[in-house]
Amino acid sequence: MCDICFTHNESAKIWFKDAKRYARFMYHRNRVDLAKKNTKRIKGGTAAIEAAAGPLIAQAIDAYNLKEDRFPDLMRAANRFHVQVQGAQTLTLQDSLDLIDISSPICFIHCECRKFKYGYVERDRSKMTCLGLGIGMMRWQKTPARYVAGAEWVDHDEAREWVIKWNKKGLVQNLMNFGMRNGGPYIGGLCNCSRPDCASIENRLRYGQRQLIKGERVAIHNEEKCTGCFKCIQRCQFGAIAADIRKGKAQIDAQMCFGCGLCESVCEFDAIELRNRRDFPILRYDW
């Protein structure tokens, strides 16, 4: 079980389906003090959580390329830091829709990953793939540097249709939480991601940065039902599915699977089933 579930799941519910994770009292916390406590490189009064995590991640990535002996310690420090200030978890489509149902307000916002990776800000709503959730979005007018393209309020039905559309196109749904506040993680966003664009996915797979943790489910493959169409391979953003050329069938590596369900949704022969990760001893602690 992941640290968040083990520590903060007080009921039988999955932790992010507990309504108190979205409550107003969970949002309020002095981000600046938290940032100063966790890293000496943060100066002044910035309230950006990413500004606190960025320097540690940058140091670790530099070490990965230039100083291999320092990389493990730096990445461990970055991972400990992320538990406190920012995290993400992969969701299935249904879990994402459940997340939307208990969130309010909801906004379309531009993608921060693409902003930093490609140097542009999305202003065309049709290309936006990120949702802001909860009362934190009420502050967007006060933080123009963060939401330079604005934040467009949408209702639950529109948000649900929007997420379903991106899921059909092959994007992964990742929830974003913004650190431990008042005893638990506060949920503030839902991203629709692909590895080329998403810093969370890329940094987890390439460097082992655990800002993104695996989902509650895992895809299990039924070889007898598989016809070898390989449509599932095209949908996997985590490299967990490969073609077994000798058998002419797909093969899923459960330890690489993040449980997004994109493969299961495209399989026309019910050869893939999503199961609870905790049902498998080898996966129960693999997050």
Mean pLDDT, residues 232-260 taken together: 95
Q: Do residue 123 and residue 249 come from a single domain?
A: no
Number of domains in the chain: 2
Supply angle C-alpha 163, 201, 233, rounded to 5: 75
Confidence (pTM): 0.83
- Same-domain pairing of 85 and 225: no
Please check the confidence at residue 7 and state whether its pLDDT lies above 70: no
Categorize the per-residue pLDDT at 18 as very low, low, confident or very high, splitting at 50, 70 and 90: confident
Mean pLDDT for the stretch of residues 259-271: 96
* Per-residue pLDDT, 263: 97
Query: Are both 26 and 53 inside the same structural domain?
Result: yes
Residue 252 belongs to domain spanning = 217-279
Query: What is the structure's pLDDT at 22?
Result: 65
Strand pairing partners for 259?
A: none
Rounded distance between C-alpha atoms, residue 210 and residue 83, angstroms: 9
pLDDT higher at 35 or 233: 233
DSSP character for 151?
Answer: -
3-state SS, residue 275: strand
CA distance linking residue 239 with residue 261, whole number of Å = 13
Mean pLDDT, the chain, rounded, equals 81
Our separate counts of H helices and E strands in the chain read 11, 11
Q: What is the pLDDT of residue 25?
A: 61
Is residue 192 included in any domain, yes or no? yes
Band (pLDDT 50/70/90 cuts) for residue 6 is very low
The pLDDT, as a whole number, for residue 138 is 75
Structural domain contains residue 125 = yes
How far is the C-alpha of 138 from the C-alpha of 146, rounded, in Å? 13
pLDDT of residue 71: 86
| 240 and 154, same domain (yes or no) | no
Of 168, 192, 213, the one marking the end of a domain is 213
Q: What is the pLDDT of residue 42?
A: 43
For residue 74, being part of any structural domain is answered with yes
| Residue 139 and residue 97 in contact, taking contact as beta carbons nearer than 8 Å | no
For residues 254 and 218, is the Cβ–Cβ distance under 8 A?
A: yes
Same domain, 249 and 204: no
The mean per-residue pLDDT over the stretch 234-247 comes to 95
Burial of residue 196 (CB within 10 Å: 0-12, 13-18, 19+) is exposed
Residues 261 and 194 in one domain: no
69-117: pLDDT as tens digits: 888 888 888 887 776 667 889 999 999 999 999 888 898 888 888 888 8
Look at residues 213, 236, 268 and tell me which one is the last residue of a structural domain: 213
Q: How many CB atoms lie within 10 A of CB 126?
A: 6
Which CATH number is 233's domain given? Answer: 3.30.70.20
Give domain status of residue 175, yes or no: yes
pLDDT in the model for residue 2: 53
Residue 3 has pLDDT above 80, yes or no: no
Closest CA to 202 of 273, 121, 92, 116: 116
Examine the domain organization and report whether 12 and 133 are in the same domain. Answer: yes
Query: Which one is predicted more confidently, 229 or 62?
Result: 229
Q: Are residue 259 and residue 183 in the same domain, yes or no?
A: no
Q: What is the pLDDT of residues 26-79, one digit of tens each?
A: 666 544 455 455 544 444 433 444 555 667 777 888 888 778 888 888 888 888
Q: Tens digit of pLDDT for each residue in 144-184?
A: 666 777 778 899 999 999 999 999 999 999 998 876 665 56
- 152 shares a domain with 260: no
Judge if 65 and 161 occupy the same domain: yes
Which of 170, 192, 213 is the last residue in one of the domains? Answer: 213
